[in-house]
């Protein structure tokens, strides 16, 4: 899975990119918020492009919009609750602005279409992840008073021909989607039901989109997919099939000053070929996000993760053999169905043995329609889930602290991404291993590569100074 963070696009960043790309004098304005994984944020950029072609201008002020869209996440119950609260707010806004349309996009749209439209009457249109091309038609129907919905899943749609309008606004790093959907039926995960089966995007279109980003001054791309290692594109002109290792190498060769990252890898699919390509090209960042979810083999079996604890540890050892010092991060779920105290200790053991640089950690949240919801009882009390999650967080916090302490006195090349959130006199950027560094601005500018010597750290951030 992709990272499970839940957040809203920063409106000030959103406006910078959109207002320069879309006709600001348009009488029709749209406002968009995105929640959840990186794929959702990338989808919002596709939606922005489609709306642009339909004559919509962008706004960062919801009160001047005639169309409000919320791109949603269903990965956890808390994420859905957050989005529902936002929809209630927009429903109140509709009472003050009669011509306002409110739409839900993404995974929550796919899962709760009837409830959102009919039972709660929170929205005017519901559009699933594979139906964004139909947005102009659905909007027209909604303007005519109809409740519009299209949540049909596709086996072909990759939006390969659509040039996304970048919403991140920093002009330095961006996502490039290489595939959609997922074939891994992890029992806890709703993604295969909300995003459909796996399909890989045309490799030529991926390379062209990356070239376009380079020409616009971007210095870093992240190749994005639910499981990038299973990427495979068959050239209809009779050429050889393109694997993820092939694609990764092709992107790296476009410009040796372009940093290349990818997310997310499934432990069962990442190959030595990928690792050797990473080792070969200095501009491919030496960082791998490798979700384990649980350290207990019995829990992994119930999760349908198709590997054991020992197999995972062997994979981590292989990564570090080919890529010494490679940065590692992971996902952990506490309190999955049937998890025992012994299972919890197995998870803590893996955390200690792998010494991840950071991790995304959550307690289990049953998702309706998943295999786990149909097959297993959600039998771990919330208080136990929370206790085990706290134990996991405590171990990982110490891992992160010790990992960062090893960086003291070291000098790293950092890509300047923009101002620090806490101090306007400081810049921030990430190392090759995806660690965030904060440092005084000096004479550098956003988009520069600078050498930063680390002199202090917290458990989550490196503090440094620019050196020659």
Average pLDDT of the segment spanning 349-370: 96
The verdict on 16 and 137 lying in the same domain is yes
Answer with the one of 358, 386, 405 that is the final residue of a domain.
405
CATH number at residue 397: 3.80.30.20
pLDDT value of position 13: 38
The verdict on 126 and 51 lying in the same domain is yes
pLDDT value of position 6: 34
pLDDT value of position 16: 41
> What is the tally of structural domains in the chain?
3
Q: Mean pLDDT over all residues of the chain?
A: 91
- Note down the domain range covering 202: 173-405
Domain contains 168: no
Whether the per-residue pLDDT at 273 is higher than 90: the answer is: yes
pLDDT value of position 239: 72
Average pLDDT of the segment spanning 326-337: 98
- The DSSP secondary-structure symbol of 118 reads I
The verdict on 381 and 421 lying in the same domain is no
Give the distance from CA 243 to its chain's centroid.
21
What does the block give as tokens for 11?
Answer: 């409106």
Query: Which residues does 162 contact at the CB level (< 8 Å), separation at least 6?
Result: 46, 49, 50
Q: Nearest Cα to 284, choosing from 313, 245, 320, 318?
A: 245
The verdict on 212 and 327 lying in the same domain is yes
CATH number at residue 62: 3.40.50.12160
The verdict on 127 and 102 lying in the same domain is yes
Average pLDDT of the segment spanning 230-257: 92
The SS3 assignment for 342 reads helix
Q: What is the pLDDT of residues 57-76, one digit of tens each?
A: 888 889 999 999 999 988 88
Answer with the one of 380, 405, 430 that is the final residue of a domain.
405
The verdict on 115 and 215 lying in the same domain is no
- The DSSP secondary-structure symbol of 400 reads H
pLDDT value of position 414: 98
Whether the per-residue pLDDT at 15 is higher than 60: the answer is: no
Domain contains 289: yes
Domain contains 167: no
User: Cα angle vertex 208, ends 217, 32, to 5°?
Assistant: 70
Domain contains 234: yes
The verdict on 257 and 338 lying in the same domain is yes
Count Cβ atoms below 10 Å from residue 63 Cβ, excluding itself.
11
Query: Which residues does 126 contact at the CB level (< 8 Å), separation at least 6?
Result: 103, 104, 109, 113, 116, 117, 148, 149, 150, 151
pLDDT class of 19 with cuts at 50, 70, 90: very low
- The DSSP secondary-structure symbol of 119 reads I
The verdict on 20 and 89 lying in the same domain is yes
The verdict on 119 and 196 lying in the same domain is no
pLDDT value of position 58: 82
Domain contains 156: no
The verdict on 228 and 282 lying in the same domain is yes
Sequence-ordered alpha helix ranges (H) in 197-325: 203-215, 244-254, 272-280, 297-303, 309-322
CATH number at residue 424: 2.40.50.140
Answer with the one of 390, 405, 420 that is the final residue of a domain.
405
pLDDT value of position 17: 41
Domain contains 355: yes
Count Cβ atoms below 10 Å from residue 160 Cβ, excluding itself.
18
Domain contains 166: no
The verdict on 219 and 289 lying in the same domain is yes
Q: Nearest Cα to 254, choosing from 288, 309, 226, 215?
A: 215
- Do 431 and 454 meet the contact criterion of CB atoms below 8 Å apart? no
Domain contains 159: no
Of 66-75, 364-373, 387-396, highest mean pLDDT: 387-396
pLDDT class of 2 with cuts at 50, 70, 90: very low
The verdict on 180 and 299 lying in the same domain is yes
Q: What percent of the chain has pLDDT over 90?
A: 77
Whether the per-residue pLDDT at 24 is higher than 70: the answer is: no
- Do 107 and 36 meet the contact criterion of CB atoms below 8 Å apart? yes
Q: What is the pLDDT of residues 140-194, one digit of tens each?
A: 999 998 889 999 999 999 999 999 988 766 899 999 999 999 999 999 999 999 8
């Amino acid at each position: 899975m992709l990272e499970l963070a839940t957040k809203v696009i920063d409106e000030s960043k959103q406006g910078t990119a959109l207002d320069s790309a879309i006709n600001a004098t348009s009488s029709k304005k749209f406002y968009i918020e995105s929640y959840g994984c990186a794929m959702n944020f990338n989808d919002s950029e596709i939606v922005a492009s489609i709306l642009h072609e339909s004559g919509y201008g962008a706004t960062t002020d919801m009160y001047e919009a005639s169309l409000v869209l919320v791109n949603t996440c269903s990965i956890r119950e808390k994420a859905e609750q957050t989005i529902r609260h936002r929809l209630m707010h927009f429903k109140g806004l509709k009472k003050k602005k009669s011509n306002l349309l409110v739409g839900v996009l993404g995974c929550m749209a796919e899962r709760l279409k009837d409830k959102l439209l009919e039972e709660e009457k929170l929205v005017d249109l519901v559009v699933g992840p594979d139906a964004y091309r139909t947005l102009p038609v659905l909007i027209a129907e909604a303007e005519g008073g109809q409740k519009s919905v299209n949540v049909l899943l596709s086996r072909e749609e990759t939006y390969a021909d659509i040039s996304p309008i970048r919403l991140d606004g920093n002009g330095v790093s961006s996502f490039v989607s290489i595939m959609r959907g997922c074939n891994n039926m992890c029992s806890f995960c709703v993604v295969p039901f909300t995003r459909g089966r796996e399909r890989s995007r045309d490799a030529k279109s991926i390379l062209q989109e990356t070239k376009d980003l380079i020409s616009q001054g971007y210095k870093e791309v992240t190749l994005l997919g639910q499981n990038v290692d299973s990427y495979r594109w068959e050239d209809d002109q009779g050429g050889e099939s393109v694997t993820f290792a092939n694609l990764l190498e092709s992107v790296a060769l476009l410009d040796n000053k372009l940093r290349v990252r990818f997310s997310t890898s499934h432990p069962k699919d990442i190959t030595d070929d990928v690792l050797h390509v990473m080792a070969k090209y200095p501009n491919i960042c030496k960082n791998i996000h490798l979700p384990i979810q649980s350290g207990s083999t019995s829990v992994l079996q119930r999760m349908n993760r198709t590997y054991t604890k020992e197999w995972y540890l062997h994979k981590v050892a292989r990564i570090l053999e080919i890529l010494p010092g490679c940065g590692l991060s992971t996902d952990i779920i506490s309190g999955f169905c049937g998890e025992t105290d012994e299972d919890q200790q197995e998870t803590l053991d893996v955390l200690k043995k792998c010494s991840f640089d950071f991790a995304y950690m959550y307690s289990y949240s049953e998702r309706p329609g998943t295999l786990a919801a149909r097959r297993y009882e959600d039998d771990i009390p919330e208080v136990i889930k929370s206790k085990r999650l706290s134990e996991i967080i405590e171990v990982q916090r110490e891992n992160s602290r010790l990992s960062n302490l090893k960086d003291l006195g070291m000098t790293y090349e950092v890509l300047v991404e923009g101002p620090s959130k806490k101090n306007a006199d400081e810049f921030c950027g990430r190392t090759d291993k995806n660690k965030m560094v904060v440092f005084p601005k000096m004479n550098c500018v956003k988009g520069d590569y600078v050498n930063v010597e680390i002199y202090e750290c917290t458990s989550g951030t490196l503090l440094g100074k620019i050196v020659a």
